A and B are shown apart, each in its own frame.
Chain A
Amino acid sequence: MMVEEFLWYYVLATIIGTAAVGLCGMICRPHMIKKLVMLTIFSDAIEMLAVFIGYRITATQPPVYPGGVIEGFVYPSQASLKEFAGAAVDPLPQILIVTAIVIGLAVLLFLVTLSVTAGEMFGTQNLSKIEGGEKNE
């Protein structure tokens, strides 16, 4: 149990550290494309954290009821469902991030179009080199 607990804290620290790297890069890198790369790293780390919150040490199954679909259809009984609910992982974080991933991709496409347009207008995508832009460093 000690090894499992250590590994649990280690994974939590890794995920939150990755999110911190993404947040830091999003703030202090002046180039737009690097900001977008860091944005994807940040959002992926947050989605990973959401899945990690749903993790259970005793869980052995994905949240899909296993019986009665392939070998002839039978309505599941209450007892087998109670057993299933005790052995499956938490489905709610997965439900929340399914749409978040696809919407994140769409918003990323929109931001890429904005940065390409900015590159055409100003000749550069570096925010610190754009005239009248915010000076970093």
Chain B
Amino acid sequence: MKLSVVVSLMLAVIFAVALVQLGLVSPDFTSNLYLAYKYLSEIPLQGSLLYTGSPEIVTSVLWDQRGIDTYYETTVLFLAIIGTLYIFAEKIKPSEPSKEMTVIVKLIAKVVAPIIMIVSISVALHGHLTPGGGFQGGSIFVVAPLILLAAMGGSKLIKLGFKKDSLLSLRLTGLILIAFIGISTLIIGFMKGVMGYLFLNQPKTYVPLGYADVIHAPWGEIVIAGTLILLNLMEFLAVSAGFTLALLGLDAVVEGGKK
């Protein structure tokens, strides 16, 4: 025990000294490094090679400049939840009544949960304009089923519509649609006989294809930033449905263990 305390403290000190000595972190930084400066100054600039049509740099880089990487990270998420379901899926039974909390807790949960859901959908829908996006919105959404699960139990939650099969198919739909949006420009380019890129958002130098950055509606312009809004919505579906499913499985096991 004492040895491991000493070893981890020594590792921490070596890590900190190495970080400062190599210049990776320093209190003297007063301006951004080259790559960050390039992203910050070129992503909202119309006509630039990195243009995405969105003022939000984080979401732009996440779904445009490194879209394939984010897609495979979503796959890792999918695999982790598949692993959870492999152990727990048989134990999710909608028929068994589960323990409920008092009236006060149930009423407050019924009031708070829809508000949380609406906030999460707003965070996901405005992910290309304000800080937020599919991952963040999905994580916020999961709090609502968690509150309902604690207040009313798993069987009531399943009666409300959070069924195992529908959640699993929603999750699959999200992942498949992300892949389809990623290769859609490739397919259109193949049919038209021009070049296309994977996860292409705006038209590039040699690629005349691409999604629209602004929609001109009769009442004004709407910034949709091409694929960003679609991918954020699909990611929101995948993350929220997957985590709700895993929470249902975990609750079924905890309830089964109490009996």
- Closest-by-CB residue of B relative to A116 is B253
The answer to whether the Cβ of B188 comes within 8 Å of any Cβ in the partner chain is no
The number of chain B residues touching the other chain, given as a range, is 35 or more
Name B127-147 residues within 8 Å CB distance of A. 129-131, 133, 135-136, 138-139
The answer to whether the Cβ of B107 comes within 8 Å of any Cβ in the partner chain is no
Whether A24 pairs with B8 at a CB distance below 8 angstroms is yes
Whether B45 pairs with A91 at a CB distance below 8 angstroms is no
CB distance from A98 to the nearest CB of B (A): 6
Neighbour of A137 across the interface among B1, B12, B30, B223, CB < 8 A: B1
Whether B32 pairs with A88 at a CB distance below 8 angstroms is yes
Chain B residues with Cβ under 8 A from A64's Cβ?
55-58, 130-131
Residues 60-91 of chain A, each 1 if its beta carbon lies under 8 Å from chain B, else 0: 00111110110011011010011011101111
Neighbour of B138 across the interface among A24, A62, A102, CB < 8 A: A102
Separation of A81 and B7 alpha carbons in the complex (Å): 47
The answer to whether the Cβ of A130 comes within 8 Å of any Cβ in the partner chain is no
- Closest-by-CB residue of A relative to B70 is A99
- Closest-by-CB residue of A relative to B25 is A53
Neighbour of B41 across the interface among A12, A53, A82, CB < 8 A: A82
Chain B residues with Cβ under 8 A from A81's Cβ?
40-42, 44-45
The answer to whether the Cβ of B49 comes within 8 Å of any Cβ in the partner chain is no
Whether A85 pairs with B37 at a CB distance below 8 angstroms is yes
Whether B84 pairs with A91 at a CB distance below 8 angstroms is no
Separation of A92 and B61 alpha carbons in the complex (Å): 9
Chain A residues with Cβ under 8 A from B100's Cβ?
none
CB distance from A103 to the nearest CB of B (A): 6
- Closest-by-CB residue of A relative to B77 is A106
Q: Given A64-B131, A73-B214, A91-B61: A106 and B242 within 8 A (CB)?
A: yes
- Mark the stretch among B108-116, B195-203, B243-251 that contacts chain A: B243-251
Q: Given A24-B9, A92-B39, A105-B139: A76 and B30 within 8 A (CB)?
A: no
Chain B residues with Cβ under 8 A from A78's Cβ?
41, 45
- Closest-by-CB residue of B relative to A21 is B8
Q: Given A85-B40, A98-B133: A23 and B25 within 8 A (CB)?
A: no
Chain B residues with Cβ under 8 A from A54's Cβ?
36
Of B40, B246, B249, chain A has the most CB atoms within 10 Å of the CB of: B40
Q: Given A69-B129, A73-B221, A85-B40: A63 and B45 within 8 A (CB)?
A: no
Neighbour of B31 across the interface among A65, A86, A102, CB < 8 A: A86
Chain B residues with Cβ under 8 A from A84's Cβ?
40-41
Give me the interface of B with A, judged by CB distance under 8 Å. Answer: 1, 4-5, 7-9, 11-12, 15-16, 19-20, 24-25, 27, 29-33, 35-37, 39-42, 44-46, 55-58, 61-62, 66, 70, 73, 76-77, 80-81, 83-84, 87-88, 129-131, 133, 135-136, 138-139, 214, 220-221, 223, 239, 242-243, 246-247, 249-250, 253-254, 257
What would be 16 A-B contacts, judged by CB atoms less than 8 Å apart? A20-B9, A23-B8, A24-B4, A24-B5, A24-B9, A56-B32, A57-B29, A63-B58, A64-B57, A91-B57, A101-B139, A105-B243, A106-B246, A109-B80, A109-B243, A136-B1
Give me the interface of A with B, judged by CB distance under 8 Å. Answer: 4-5, 8-9, 12-13, 16-17, 19-21, 23-24, 27-28, 52-54, 56-58, 62-66, 68-69, 72-73, 75-76, 78, 81-82, 84-86, 88-92, 94-95, 98-99, 101-103, 105-107, 109-110, 112-114, 116-117, 120, 136-137
Among all A-B residue pairs, the 9 with the closest Cβ atoms: A20-B12, A65-B55, A85-B40, A106-B80, A24-B8, A85-B41, A73-B221, A63-B57, A8-B27
